Amino acid sequence: MANQSQNTFLPSDIIFNILTKLPVKSLCRFKVVCREWNVLISSQDFVKEHLCHAKDMKNLAFQKFMYLGVRFSISKVFSRVFDFSTLNKVPLALPFGDKHVNAEILASCDGLVLLYKGRRIYVLWNPSTGAQREFSGLHMNILVRSCCRLYGIAYDASINVYKVIAAARISNTRESTVITVYNCRTGTCTYSKGFPYWMYRSQQGVMVNEVPHWLVSHREGVGCAIVYYDFASETFKEVPKPEWAENVSEVDLRAHNGMLCLIHFKRGCADIWVMENYGQLESWTKLYHNVCCPGNFQMRPIGLTHNEQVVMEIQQRRIDVYDPRTRIFTHKSMYTYHVNAEFGAATYVESLVSLDVENV
Amino acid sequence: MVTTDEKGPLTAKKKSVIIRSCDGDEFLVSESAAVLSTSLKKILEEKEDRLIHLSDIDNKTLAMVIAYLSTHADDGLSDDLKRSFDQEFVSGKEFDVLKYLVLATDTLQVTCLCYTVAKKMADIMKNKLVEWVRREFDIQNDYTPEAEAEIRRLDAWAWDDRQLEDD
């Protein structure tokens, strides 16, 4: 049935085109319009095209930033989601309720978020559709909350499956690092040991070019490298870094406007660098020079606004909007998260990506 | 009729074509504007004829598409001005008008306008009732009441706490 939809005025490829631009909530309601729309909205092609639209940084209504806050007096954890198109925040119910005060946000990719629930249980969750799946076994069931850890989620296009990559340094040697790859389709973990780098700080993977990146050292306290996990070779590979980054300690890796971004902190200010063409050493460019935030707090860019201002997360407890033209910070929101500052917040996109275990 | 000169690439920009709508009205368009439509570009490459007849696009819609093409072919306008023109272009337009417009941009293969119009349509639709959508797209509900209830139940969360519009 090519373009001849039943009764409709518009051909189905135009309908497809329009529907890919709708929010997830509207799409879930519009499955009821007719059977054809239900089949269309549920199809893999549609989910992929919708994701593609959501990931375009220009479509701000699809860019979200979620963060956790803990109220100790009542032993509850709450979460909120910040919308880059409206610069407003609204409550976001966690899939396991508000009682798990050890909750962490470990990674995010294509609208899927990896959460730590507590008691060695992890949850893959799509905050937009509410789909979720609990699993255990990450890190060989070793309790790793106090260890140095890296997390990432990525889509392995060669076999059409999302995978979680996790690494934890169990003791003070490089060799003791356990690397786990969790296959979201089969629900199984594979483990390996011997990470060729030194992890010095817990990190969420920085998603650029469809893979998670982390900042690591060559040896304890020596040098720095930007690495990503390569599914084809099942190894970690390096992305070239600018020369100045070799021997500085105060540096942070993030994503900005779809590019790898290094934040170089120095005496209360920061230079913000981006890699304009992924993988090309000579494309590292200083985007903003000497960004000074009142109070000299550490900052990281998390997104953009309609008029090309930068939304910054300050000291993992505040959301500000920074205008690069006037160099002024405007306060937007405040939150507190204490447990492990690296795992208290994440950006994600609104998508229909599902967690269904397919029949293999 | 328009006289066409064939003095070579220097004057190529000044050349014009005539586009006729299905109502029979003719529009004079510079060639630099016309070629922004992939379909018109193909037609112009294939034949010498400077008159193009579009049998399925009406006057009103064609006039809008041509206004868009002419603005985007104007080298004197900055990209910022063109962007704000695009926003202005779709704002306030009725859903019905947009339906004809999206169909015309699809036929003429004007990709960026097609994108802008589809996005605007999605923006209008997002808070509408299912009944409104069925009406606007002229779709018959082919679910049994039980089947419809089942689909609604699966995504029950999408139906609450929202003021849905029917006009």
Is B154 part of a structural domain of the chain? Answer: no
Residues from chain B contacting residue A13 (CB–CB below 8 Å): 106
Of A8, A19, A25, nearest to B158 by CB-CB distance is A25
Using an 8 Å Cβ cutoff, are B60 and B94 in contact?
no
A6/chain B closest Cα distance in angstroms: 8
Question: Which residue range is the domain that position B26 belongs to?
Answer: 15-124
Cβ count near A175 (within 10 Å): 10
A89 by DSSP, 3-state: which?
A: strand
In this complex, do A15 and B137 lie within 8 Å of one another by their Cβ atoms?
A: yes
Can you give the pLDDT at residue B6?
Answer: 45
> Quick one: pLDDT at residue A199?
87
CA-CA distance, A325 to A305, in Å (whole number)? 14
Measured CA to CA, the distance from residue A41 to residue A206 in angstroms comes to 29
> What's the whole-number average pLDDT of chain A?
87
Identity of the amino acid at A300: R
Across B98-114, average pLDDT: 92
In a domain, B146, yes or no: no
Choose between B153 and A170: higher pLDDT.
B153
Does A17 contact B at CB distance below 8 Å?
A: yes
CA nearest to A163, candidates A151, A149, A147:
A151
Beta carbons of A333 and A89 less than 8 angstroms apart: yes
Contact B143 A22 (CB under 8 A): no
Cβ <8 Å between A22 and B155: no
- Write B23-28 long-range contacts (CB < 8 A, 24+): B23/B58, B23/B59, B25/B59, B25/B62, B26/B51, B27/B62, B27/B63, B27/B66, B28/B2
Q: Do A22 and B158 count as a contact with CB atoms less than 8 A apart?
A: no
- Going by pLDDT thresholds of 50, 70 and 90, the confidence category of residue A268 is confident
Express as a percent the part of chain A with pLDDT over 90: 50
Average pLDDT over residues A56-63: 92
| Among the listed residues A356, A347, A355, A352, the one whose alpha carbon sits nearest the alpha carbon of residue A128 | A352
Q: Is residue B119 part of a domain?
A: yes
- Residue B150: inside a domain: no
Tell me what percent of the residues of chain B surpass a pLDDT of 90: 43
3 state SS of A26: helix
Q: How many domains does chain B have?
A: 1
As annotated, the residues of chain A forming the CATH 2.120.10.80 domain(s) are 54-349
A92 touches B: beta carbon within 8 Å: no
Nearest-CA distance B159 → chain A (Å): 7
Query: A219 with A172: CB under 8 angstroms?
Result: no
Residue B149 counted as domain residue = no
Say if B104 falls within a structural domain.
yes
Euclidean distance between CA atoms A235 and A229, whole angstroms: 6
Do residue A32 and residue B114 have CB atoms under 8 angstroms apart? Answer: no
Is the predicted pLDDT of residue A43 greater than 90, yes or no?
Answer: yes
- Ranking A221-225, A293-297, A352-356, B123-127 by mean pLDDT, the lowest is A293-297
Tell me: pLDDT of A40 over 60. Answer: yes
**What is the CATH classification number for the domain harbouring B104?**
3.30.710.10
**Across A309-321, average pLDDT:** 85
Instruction: Please list the residues that pair with A155 across neighbouring strands.
Output: A162
Q: How confident is the model at residue A218 (pLDDT cuts 50, 70, 90)?
A: confident
Q: How far is B78 from chain A (nearest CA, A)?
A: 17
Would B109 be classed as within a structural domain? yes
User: With a CB-CB cutoff of 8 Å, which residues 96-135 of chain B face chain A?
Assistant: 99, 102-103, 106, 114, 118-119, 121-123, 125-127, 130, 133-134
Instruction: For residue B98, list chain A residues with Cβ-Cβ distance below 8 A.
Output: none
CATH class of the domain at A54-349: mainly beta
Please report the pLDDT score of residue A282 as a whole number. Answer: 94
Chain B residues with CB under 8 Å of A35 CB are 142-143
User: Within an 8 Å CB–CB cutoff, is residue A22 touching chain B?
Assistant: yes
Supply the pTM of this predicted model: 0.89
